[in-house]
Every structure is written in C-alpha cells, then in structure tokens.
C-alpha cells in the first residue's frame, strides 16, 4: 500500500518500549507507516521532511526538547491540518489545561490500558478533543470556580437547550478550531460566531474557550454514547 497522509502517523517519545506499544496500536488502526522519533527537534525534522503529510502526531511531554505543553503550540500553528495529541505520563491538571490551551487535539495519559488508549485515538482522529472523563470533570471545576458547576445530570438538558447552530459551533470548538475557522466552516461572520460562543460559555457555565472545549468534550462524547 502506498504511503499517504491518511495511513501515516508520527510518534515522538524517548521511551522506546512505549513507542513500540503505540506503534502496535496505530497499526491496528490501519496506519501502515509509523514514523518514530525520540525528541521534539527530531519530530519537527521528520514532519518537515514529509511536508507535514501525516494524519496524527503523538508527543510525550517528558522527552528532550519539550519544556512544557506550550512547546507544541508552534507545531500546531505550522501544521494545523495534523491531529496533534499529547500522550504523557503526567496527570497534572495544569499540564492538561496548558496542552488543551495550545490547541492540541487531545491529552491521553500513558496509564490507560491499550483498549482505552486505542479508543481515545479513534475519538481524536474523528475530530473530538479527547480528555479523560474524570480529569475533564476536575478540570472544569478547577478552571471555572462556581457554585453552579456543571453536573452529569444536567448534561443532556443543557445539550437539548442549545440551538442546532450552537451545537455546530461547540463541535468545531472541541475540534480545536479558531473563531475564523469556525466562521468559514459554518458560513458565518466572525461576529456571529463570537455571539454563539458567548451563549455557549453561559450555558456551559465557563468563562473561556479552553474550559468550554473541556466541558463540551464531556457533553458531546457522553451523550453520543447514550
């Protein structure tokens, strides 16, 4: 089979054995070409060599070249079409929030089992910003202190109250799209998108895009599986 962006993935992790495990999972997800690197610089070099023609790139936070999740911001900006996810041993909420705020498409803890990790990658490839459910709950409450924190029992009711257009905007926000990209994708003006975003922030009881993406991920994923 010819190598194409759709069947090519990149793993950037200095743990050789974990790279092997990830490669095995990606192979089962029909990736026939898996590029392996052990540092941020090496990953950037390989992405440049293939002109960014990969479907997904997985980065460990603890490898050489990465001082914080913000180190991935430039990668996302240069290659906006690549699904970029952090696969890390860190479960610190500050790392998760920092990663999501840089615009990556997901944060996957290394502690997940192979099946869960595979499911997380499927969601990311499908356009969902993945954050583990329990972590998402904690992140939403820590990021946006409120006496009216979003509860599981309210999720379906909140989703039903959103207009179809607000749901469309939320899905694109969760997918890591910027306001300009949402506007172009939905055929709206940026001003109209900003109005929808303000309405979403109010409905989700959050104050910024990062917290809305986390809350939106939980609502959309949980209700999709019901």
| Beta pairing partners, 88 | 109
Q: 109: closest CA among 125, 126, 128, 93?
A: 93
Express as a percent the part of the chain with pLDDT over 90.
28
Tell me the C-alpha distance between 91 and 111, whole Å.
Answer: 9
181 burial (CB, 10 Å; 0-12 / 13-18 / 19+) is middle
In the chain, domain spans: 5-130, 139-224
Model confidence at 148, in pLDDT bands (50, 70, 90)?
very low
The pLDDT score that the predictor gives to residue 224 is 58
Check if the beta carbon of residue 67 is closer than 8 Å to that of residue 40. no
pLDDT at residue 69 greater than cutoff 80: no
- Decide whether 5-130 matches 139-224 in CATH topology: no
Domain 139-224 fold: Arc Repressor Mutant, subunit A (1.10.10)
Read off the tokens for 205.
């009881």
pLDDT at residue 45 greater than cutoff 50: yes
When the pLDDT of each residue in the chain is averaged and rounded to a whole number, the result is: 82
Q: What is the pLDDT of residues 109-139, one digit of tens each?
A: 888 889 999 999 998 998 888 887 655 555 5
pLDDT at residue 25 greater than cutoff 60: yes
Q: What is the pLDDT of residues 179-196, one digit of tens each?
A: 888 889 988 888 878 888
Tell me the C-alpha distance between 27 and 148, whole Å.
Answer: 44
pTM for this one?
A: 0.65
The pLDDT score that the predictor gives to residue 133 is 61
Q: What is the pLDDT of residues 197-223, one digit of tens each?
A: 888 888 888 877 877 888 888 777 665
Report the alpha-carbon angle 99-103-109, nearest 5. Answer: 35
Average pLDDT over residues 149-165: 70
The pLDDT score that the predictor gives to residue 149 is 45
Q: Which CATH architecture group holds 5-130?
A: 3-Layer(aba) Sandwich (3.40)
The pLDDT score that the predictor gives to residue 113 is 86
Name the strand (E) or helix (H) holding 88: strand 83-88
Tally of residues, the chain: 226
């Amino acid at each position: 089979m010819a190598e194409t962006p759709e069947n090519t993935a990149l793993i950037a992790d200095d743990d050789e054995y974990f790279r092997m495990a990830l490669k095995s999972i990606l192979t089962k997800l029909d990736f026939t070409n898996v590029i392996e690197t052990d540092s941020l610089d090496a990953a950037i070099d390989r992405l440049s060599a293939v002109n960014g023609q990969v479907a997904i790139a997985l980065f460990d936070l603890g490898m050489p070249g990465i001082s914080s999740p913000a180190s991935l911001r430039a990668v996302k900006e240069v290659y906006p079409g690549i699904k970029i996810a952090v696969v890390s041993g860190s479960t610190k909420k500050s790392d998760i929030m920092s990663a999501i705020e840089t615009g990556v498409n997901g944060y996957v803890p290394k502690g997940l089992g192979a099946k869960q990790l595979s499911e997380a990658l499927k969601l990311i490839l499908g356009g969902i910003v993945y954050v583990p459910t329990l972590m998402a709950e904690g992140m939403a409450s820590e990021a946006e202190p409120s006496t009216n924190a979003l509860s599981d029992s309210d999720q379906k009711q909140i989703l039903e109250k959103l207009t179809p257009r607000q749901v469309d905007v939320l899905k694109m926000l969760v997918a890591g799209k910027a306001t300009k990209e949402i506007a172009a994708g939905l055929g709206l003006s940026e001003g109209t998108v900003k109005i929808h975003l303000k309405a979403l922030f109010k409905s989700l009881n959050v104050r910024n895009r990062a917290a809305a993406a986390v809350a939106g991920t939980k609502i959309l994923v949980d209700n999709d599986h019901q």
